[in-house]
């Protein structure tokens, strides 16, 4: 599988990674097989977070990838802390919390370093300089190789891009959520900061089961009926050599800012379908134009000042 440089760092990630949030404690055997097969199929980027399943996800991923730990890029996230009753979480991007949280993540992951440590959110009201200082210290201490943020908020992204050493920004991006195209993709590409695209199949709306879903449902600013029409248009006007979900994954990769797409997988079959996108042709300029003519060019209007 093709590997791309992450920002200006020495890290290289498979263009299709694995978002591990969909792995669940109720099906450990399947989850372990998914992780094993992902590596065998060429995936070298595995993404988790300390928030997922109260830390179980980190522990499970770390244990499962141990046989090939040194051959992959392991990423996790920090910034959200569960409340005592575990019914909700609080946002804490302070240096004190980050430097404690990484110790817990390293223990759960069973490793002495994290390849990519990401801030799991961020607001313009944060003391971002303090957060940046924490990440820089972790890098100097050798606990992380590189760091990034997970955000779609333009003001937050812009601040980190201008004032920190981030090598990546994870953001939701798909045919049904084209907000990053308005101002972020070209900006980050010019800054030599990579994008990691999450949610490429839009919670299944861009998969083969899309037309079986109710027209009364909704995804962002799309009504279910609109998505049905969009899906039918894609099927009519694009080459049949890709499945719908593979087309969705390849769309995210059409922009040079995007180093990796990280769809989740709750079964081996779903994983193999996702990986199959790596073996289909890149979208042509004409195909990209068709997709963009059928979908909405959204703008992110919140969290600005």
Determine whether 52 is an active site residue: yes
- β-bridge pairing 258-261 and 194-198: parallel
Catalytic-labelled residue, pool 39, 52, 97, 222? 52
Q: Is 127 exposed, middle or buried (0-12, 13-18, 19+ CB in 10 A)?
A: exposed
Closest CA to 47 of 78, 20, 22, 69: 20
- Cross-strand pairs, 35: none
Query: What would the DSSP string read from start to end of 29-91?
Result: HHHHHHHHHHHHTT--EEE--TTGGGGHHHHHHHHHTGGGGGGSEEEEEESEEE-TTSSSEEE
C-beta of residue 46 within 8 angstroms of C-beta of residue 185: no
Contacts of residue 149, Cβ cutoff 8 Å, sequence gap at least 6? 118, 119, 122, 156, 157, 160, 166, 168, 169, 170
| DSSP letter for each residue of 216-239 | T-EETTEEHHHHHHHHHHHHHHS-
Catalytic positions, written as ranges: 52
């Amino acid at each position: 599988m093709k590997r791309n440089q992450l920002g200006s760092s020495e890290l290289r990630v498979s263009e299709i990674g694995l978002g591990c949030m969909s792995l669940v404690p109720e099906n450990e055997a399947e989850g372990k097989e998914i992780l094993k097969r992902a590596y065998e199929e060429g995936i070298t980027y595995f993404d988790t977070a300390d928030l997922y399943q109260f830390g179980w996800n980190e522990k499970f991923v770390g244990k499962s990838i141990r046989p090939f730990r040194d051959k992959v890029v392991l990423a996790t996230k920090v910034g959200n802390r569960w409340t005592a009753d575990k019914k909700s979480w609080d946002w804490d991007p302070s240096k004190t919390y980050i430097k404690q949280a990484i110790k817990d993540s390293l223990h759960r992951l069973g490793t002495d370093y994290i390849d990519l440590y990401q801030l799991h959110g961020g607001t313009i009201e944060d003391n971002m300089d303090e957060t940046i200082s924490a990440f820089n210290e972790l890098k100097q201490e050798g606990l992380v190789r590189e760091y990034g943020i997970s955000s779609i908020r333009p003001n937050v992204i812009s601040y980190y891009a201008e004032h920190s050493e981030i090598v990546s920004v994870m953001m939701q991006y798909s045919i049904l959520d084209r907000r990053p195209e308005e101002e972020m993709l070209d900006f980050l590409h010019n800054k030599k900061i990579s994008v990691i695209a999450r949610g490429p199949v839009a919670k299944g709306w861009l998969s083969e089961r899309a037309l079986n879903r109710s027209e009364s449902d909704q995804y962002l600013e799309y009504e279910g009926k609109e998505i049905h029409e969009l899906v039918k248009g894609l099927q009519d006007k694009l080459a049949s050599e890709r499945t719908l979900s593979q087309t969705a994954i390849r769309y995210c990769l059409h922009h040079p800012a995007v180093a990796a797409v990280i769809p989740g997988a709750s079964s081996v079959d779903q994983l193999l379908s996702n990986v199959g996108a790596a073996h289909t042709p890149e979208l042509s300029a004409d195909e990209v134009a068709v997709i963009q003519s059928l979908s909405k060019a959204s703008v992110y209007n919140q969290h600005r000042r």
